[in-house]
Amino acid sequence: MTDRKATLTFDDKTLELPIHSPTAGPDVIDIRKLYAQGDVFTHDPGFTSTSACESTITFIDGDKGELLHRGYPIDQLASKSHYLEVCYLLLYGELPTAAEMEKFENTITRHTMLHEQMTYFYRGFRRDAHPMAIIVGVMGAMSAFYHDSTDISDPRQREIATHRLIAKMPTIVAWAFKYSIGQPFVYPRNDLDYAANFLNMCFSVPAEDYEVSPVLARAMDRIFTLHADHEQNASTSTVRLASSSGANPFACIAAGAACLWGPAHGGANQACLEMLREIGTVDKIPEYIARAKDKDDPFRLMGFGHRVYKNFDPRAKVMKESADEVLDLLGIHDNPTLQVAKELERQALEDPYFAEKKLFPNVDFYSGIILEAMGFPTSMFTPIFALSRTVGWISQWKEQLSDPAHKIGRPRQLYTGHPFRDYVEVENRG
């Protein structure tokens, strides 16, 4: 914090507003006293110029294409670390010592089972329900099954809820998948690592042996790591807003998952792969690029563009390498979807429209190709994103609750409806 001030002058008023300097990123003008002192609001739909909280978890420099978790760059974390270590880092602020890591892994591993009664809850859904519909329901229902970790004023209960969410999400998501394909639920195996256990719960069946490939488990772990947190995106802001009212952690995380589902956010990976399949062959690409540029056509290139990244998405780079590795391992060399993706990326990046608007492939552009090659249907892409992001949501939730200055989130509005008018009796209308 500094003594610098911004001066705002309007009508006959002049207000001095404090300026805060972050450790990285643009300065912030503190407008909290603006309404009280100046009787005006700021107007910023979509929050394009608004900082809604103070945070020490994740930093993004959209111009440089930089993503840091607690200061560590995502490409180093993706290549040298692993998901549970990144979870620890996001939650507690520092990389764990070997002993801390062992304890954390042990805690997560011992909470992977779901309450058995929850299997009946799954069975209440239609088999053809989108897995996200099931997951949002089951996450919210956790507050009905785990009452003993819903008191947010108790730090121990907060900790238990955090561990439960990270530990149980793979089981929740894998079971939504199993339910949708009519296969029996596979119970978690605590001898496997986090990603391998998830793959085992998704792809093993009681009738035969299934061995998780270490390369696929590594690729899965990398997908989890790359999606772990992304500062104040739409779903995380939803979690913070829900939490600001004092709602329990499971309800808050379910709210975040519901927001993530939209195609402009976590639903983009499913939409992107469906688009690549619809394009089908490289000769059709110019037609789709022309449609994306046409203002009268609502079509957008899914997996392109980002609110914050205006140079490149550092996660997309790592994801592209992973896609090559996974397809190599599986012996998939002439995958038409990948060919369309690579050529679409090349043509779009050469097109002045995309360059001028600073539209680059985002993390979702390549993740779908990997997940499809692993055997996941497109409907599972957003659930896997939700699984990965749970740690980000819960870390931000934890941070918000530990800030004594946090308040209920309550935006105001620029009202453009009718001013006051008297009620009109029905016989006098029209």
What is the binding site for ligand ACO (CB under 6 A)?
Answer: 264-266, 268, 292, 300-307, 357, 359, 362-364
Report long-range pairs for 350-359 (Cβ below 8 Å, ≥24 apart): 351/289, 351/293, 353/292, 353/293, 354/301, 354/304, 357/305, 358/310, 358/311, 359/301, 359/304, 359/305
| Smallest distance from ligand ACO to CB 313, Å | 7
Cβ contacts of residue 38 below 8 Å, gap of 6+?
8, 10, 13, 15
Cβ contacts of residue 355 below 8 Å, gap of 6+?
349
Nearer to ligand ACO, 137 or 266 (CB): 266
| Smallest distance from ligand ACO to CB 366, Å | 12
| Smallest distance from ligand ACO to CB 120, Å | 33
**Nearest one of 159, 148, 143 to 252, comparing CA atoms:** 143
User: What is the C-alpha separation between 87 and 43, in angstroms, rounded?
Assistant: 35
Nearer to ligand ACO, 249 or 303 (CB): 303
Nearer to ligand ACO, 109 or 225 (CB): 225
DSSP state of 308: S
Q: The tokens of 223 are what?
A: 């997908």
User: What is the C-alpha separation between 19 and 280, in angstroms, rounded?
Assistant: 52
DSSP H or E stretch at residue 378:
none
Find the radius of gyration of the CA atoms of the chain: 23
Q: The tokens of 262 are what?
A: 């939209």
Q: The tokens of 121 are what?
A: 């809850």
Nearer to ligand ACO, 172 or 301 (CB): 301
| Smallest distance from ligand ACO to CB 216, Å | 22
Question: Cα separations (Å) of 365 from 143, 257, 316, 346, 360?
Answer: 34, 20, 7, 13, 10
- Residue 367: CB atoms within 10 A of its CB come to 29
Nearer to ligand ACO, 67 or 173 (CB): 67
| Smallest distance from ligand ACO to CB 333, Å | 27
For residue 335, report the phi and psi dihedrals to the nearest 5 degrees. Answer: -65, 115
User: Maximum CA pair distance of the chain?
Assistant: 79
Q: What is the sign, positive or negative, of the torsion defined by CA atoms of 364, 258, 371, 339?
A: negative
User: What is the C-alpha separation between 201 and 170, in angstroms, rounded?
Assistant: 8
3-state secondary structure of 68: strand
Catalytic residues, by residue number, are: 306, 364
Nearer to ligand ACO, 167 or 363 (CB): 363
DSSP H or E stretch at residue 189:
none
**Residue with the closest Cβ to ligand ACO?**
305
Nearer to ligand ACO, 68 or 268 (CB): 268
**Nearest one of 143, 94, 152, 85 to 118, comparing CA atoms:** 143
| Smallest distance from ligand ACO to CB 357, Å | 4
| Smallest distance from ligand ACO to CB 263, Å | 6
